[in-house]
Amino acid sequence: MNTPTHTAEDILEPDLPIIDPHHHLWDLRPMLGMFPEPHHHFVAALVDNAHYTFDQLHAHLTTGHNIIGTVFMECGAFYNGAYGDALKPVGEVEFVNGVAAQSASGLYGPSRYCAGIVGHANLMLGSEAGAVLDALHAAAPRRFKGIRHAGAWDADANVLGPPFHHPEGLYRDATFRQGFAELGKRGMTFDAWVLEPQLPDVIDLARAFPDQPICLDHCGTPVGVSAYKGKLHERFDEWRRNIHELAKCENVVVKLGGLAMAFCALPEDGPAADHGSEHLAALWRPYIETCIEAFGPDRAMFESNYPVDYWGADYAVLWNAFKRLTRSASADEKAALFAGTAARFYGIEDLLG
């Protein structure tokens, strides 16, 4: 993995227990040819982290913060085509369950990597998605928690690039919602990834399924690239209004992070700039504080989104920035934001001892 040199920072509050509820594992090296030329900086970040499996994860999680456990988030890795198109995501869960077992052996320290696993099922299968959900659960019965079916879309295809562009209005589609209903029958979670202009789609989905646990990823993904370049400030009030509206849905929690993705332009200049945690905390403060104000600490959780957020932040610096943003929080509030909310939402309370 081609990693730039970062200026080391002292670890803030090194004893604070953290559950990182959102990271990926992949080996993109055989797939790099499918990605377009890096007209979008996000692709360059992927190339730098084309191989991100156990060793790379372990290296980041042992940089000094007290990471007691993690949750893996689906990313289309290690699909097994031999299972057929609908069931090929089972291969990803099988792979990650092996990584979790490797960590659970204790040979690599006390932290429990991938204690929770969020996979993918194509909910556009409608009610037939239930069979896929059952197969995913069978692949990791003690660790599988739910799925993410991303809905990120924009009229400007350059905002996301072809590999990350999903159908318009996916979360409002009747067939999608038939598949979505299968989650509730099995007590599974749902992670929603959309771009900021699509937040009303998540609001509508949450209202339609008030008993379904939903996690909004990446603060709702503010966008600052392509057609949105230079418009973060202009769109902030609309983003904030939608965040507060979504927070009225008590079945929804929010992940505080993802802001170091290239999509967000927070920062705009990427990993080579080597920004420190004070600078990053200042950039992210309006978004993080708004989300905590809207949802409260018991419905919000910090996330690394690694290695994608490698674009804007070193792993150790990332968590230092989050800790700077919660300096005035109480011990109970910090316990929720850094571990408790994630443990409860994903059903991994045993990590808290």
Distance (Å, whole) CA 285 – CA 287: 5
Please give the pLDDT value at position 28: 73
Please give the pLDDT value at position 30: 67
> Cis (ω within 30 of 0) for the bond into 307?
yes
Distance (Å, whole) CA 65 – CA 67: 6
Give the model confidence (pLDDT) of 266-292 as tens digits.
Answer: 998 876 668 899 999 999 999 999 999
DSSP, res 306: B
- pLDDT in 10s for each residue of the chain, 353 residues: 344 455 689 999 999 999 999 999 998 776 666 555 544 455 555 666 778 999 999 999 999 999 999 999 999 999 999 999 999 999 999 999 999 999 999 999 999 999 999 999 999 999 999 999 999 999 999 999 999 999 999 998 888 876 667 899 999 999 999 999 999 999 999 999 999 999 999 999 999 999 999 999 999 999 999 999 999 999 999 999 999 999 999 999 999 999 999 889 999 887 666 889 999 999 999 999 999 999 999 999 999 999 999 888 899 999 999 999 999 999 999 999 999 999 999 999 999 98
Q: List the structure tokens of 331.
A: 């011990």
Tell me the β-bridge partners of 27. 51
Please give the pLDDT value at position 271: 67
The domain locations on the chain are 17-352
3-class DSSP assignment, residue 291: helix
Please give the pLDDT value at position 34: 57
Its CATH architecture, for the domain 17-352, is Alpha-Beta Barrel (3.20)
Mark 195-231 as b/e (b = at least 16 C-beta within 10 Å): bbbbbebbbebbeebeebbbbbbbbbbbbbbbebeee
Distance (Å, whole) CA 14 – CA 261: 25
Select from 291, 233, 298 the least CA-distant residue to 258: 291
Q: What are phi and psi of 169, to 5 degrees?
A: 65, 25
247 near 265, Cβ under 8 Å? Answer: no
Q: How many CB atoms lie within 10 A of CB 299?
A: 20
Please give the pLDDT value at position 160: 84
DSSP, res 3: -
Mark 9-18 as b/e (b = at least 16 C-beta within 10 Å): bebbbeebbb
